[in-house]
């Protein structure tokens, strides 16, 4: 996951091919569906179900990556799906994989969000990339009607220290938030939390499995992506595994429902 946020932006096809073997091996059979994260297919579908995604629900998936979670949800629930990601190469892969699904993908940096209203906004495994969560939440609220749902995962913890920032590859995409602060920000944006499930241990196990499988396939990955990239991937996965194991960072899956009209208008 982290590392993926920035490292893959311009060359996702190469990453997708080079990391495939390690990713497939890291998950139990049926649980890898192209996600670039620590969520299993089971967790993705469960969160979507708790956000009341069903046939015909309109879903906006922010930071959709190569479309793994989004296409799983669209196929399983028959929703109307719109994925957005800043990486053109990620969106190319997602589009190629979506031939049998009614969906739309766009290349865009968020915020702002695409115009229009959606029943559900998803943000899976990428909340940490947004330093200004208040601004992000205002935009998400403006994209939902009253009763609309925002379903996301979040990395909870105090901000990185200078030392941690120096050690974590691509740390410019790692903005942790204490849970109490996030809850205040959600409330201020008009949301009421309807689901908050801790998934730290599950994600730690996947992070460790990914680390082990990346190491096992290190020779091939290094030949394809370069020794420096392999080193960054190993370092970031090792650090995430450690942080999740020790409680330095906790992970939560959250559904928040918009229960008050957006507090302030968007610029
Ligand atoms: C860790 S991946 C997660 C992808 C997907 N949600 C999943 O769970 O498989 C993060 C994705 O967020 C995208 N991203 C990061 N910051 C973004 C931004 N501000 N606007 C749009 N996409 C962004 C990256 O290009 C990358 O595809």
Residue 8 pLDDT greater than 60, yes or no:
no
Indicate which atom in ligand 1 lies nearest the CA of residue 109: 20
Residue nearest to atom 12 of ligand 1 (CA): 63
Distance (angstroms) between ligand 1 centre and the Cα of 119 equals 21
Confidence of residue 10 (pLDDT cuts 50, 70, 90): low
Q: Is there a domain that residue 201 lies in? A: no
pLDDT of residue 261: 84
Convert the pLDDT of each residue in 122-136 to its tens digit: 999 999 999 999 999
Convert the pLDDT of each residue in 91-118 to its tens digit: 999 999 998 898 999 999 999 999 999 9
Indicate which atom in ligand 1 lies nearest the CA of residue 130: 19
Residue 16 pLDDT greater than 80, yes or no:
yes
Q: Which of 65, 89, 143 to mutate to test the pocket of ligand 1 (most atoms within 8 A of CB)?
A: 65
CATH number at residue 177: 3.40.50.150
Residue 262 pLDDT greater than 90, yes or no:
no
Distance (angstroms) between ligand 1 centre and the Cα of 64 equals 6
* Region 212-229 average pLDDT: 97
pLDDT of residue 1: 45
Convert the pLDDT of each residue in 180-215 to its tens digit: 999 999 999 999 999 999 999 999 999 999 999 999
Distance (angstroms) between ligand 1 centre and the Cα of 5 equals 6
Q: Is there a domain that residue 133 lies in? A: yes
Number of domains in the chain: 1
pLDDT of residue 3: 42
Q: Is there a domain that residue 137 lies in? A: yes
Residue nearest to atom 16 of ligand 1 (CA): 129
Distance (angstroms) between ligand 1 centre and the Cα of 137 equals 16
Q: Is there a domain that residue 105 lies in? A: yes
Q: Is there a domain that residue 200 lies in? A: no
Domain that holds residue 134: 4-146+153-184+207-258
Of all residues in the chain, what percent carry a pLDDT higher than 70? 94
Q: Is there a domain that residue 30 lies in? A: yes
Q: Is there a domain that residue 202 lies in? A: no
Of the listed ranges 108-117, 224-233, 257-266, the least confidently predicted one is 257-266
Distance (angstroms) between ligand 1 centre and the Cα of 128 equals 10
Confidence of residue 223 (pLDDT cuts 50, 70, 90): very high
Distance (angstroms) between ligand 1 centre and the Cα of 62 equals 7
Measuring CA to CA, how many Å separate 34 from each of 45, 93, 140?
14, 10, 25
Q: Is there a domain that residue 199 lies in? A: no
Ligand 1 pocket (Cβ < 6 Å) reads 1, 4-5, 9, 35-37, 63-65, 68-69, 85-87, 90, 109-110, 124-126, 129
Convert the pLDDT of each residue in 61-98 to its tens digit: 999 999 999 999 999 999 999 999 999 999 999 999 99
């Amino acid at each position: 996951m982290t590392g993926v946020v920035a490292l893959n932006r311009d060359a996702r096809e190469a990453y997708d091919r080079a990391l495939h073997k390690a990713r497939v091996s890291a998950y139990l059979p049926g649980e890898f569906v192209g996600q670039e994260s620590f969520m299993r297919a089971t967790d993705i579908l469960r969160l979507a179900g708790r956000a009341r995604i069903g046939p015909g629900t309109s879903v906006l998936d922010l930071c959709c990556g190569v479309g793994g979670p989004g296409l799983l949800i669209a196929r399983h629930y028959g929703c109307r799906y719109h994925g957005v990601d800043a990486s053109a190469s990620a969106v190319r892969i997602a589009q190629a994989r979506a031939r049998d699904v009614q969906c739309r993908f766009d290349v865009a940096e968020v915020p702002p969000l695409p115009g229009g209203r959606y029943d559900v906004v998803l943000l899976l495994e990428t909340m940490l990339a947004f330093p200004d969560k208040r601004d992000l939440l205002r935009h998400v609220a403006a994209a939902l009607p009253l009763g609309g749902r925002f379903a996301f995962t979040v990395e909870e913890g105090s901000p990185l220290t200078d030392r941690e920032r120096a050690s974590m590859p691509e740390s410019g995409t790692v903005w942790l938030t204490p849970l109490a602060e996030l809850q205040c920000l959600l409330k201020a944006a008009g949301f009421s939390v309807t689901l908050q499930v801790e998934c730290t241990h599950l994600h730690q196990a996947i992070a460790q499995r990914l680390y082990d499988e990346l190491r096992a396939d290190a020779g091939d990955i290094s030949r394809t992506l370069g020794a420096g990239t392999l080193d960054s991937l190993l370092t970031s996965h090792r650090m995430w595994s450690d942080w999740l194991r020790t409680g330095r960072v906790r992970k939560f899956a959250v559904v928040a429902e918009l229960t008050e009209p957006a507090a302030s208008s968007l610029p």
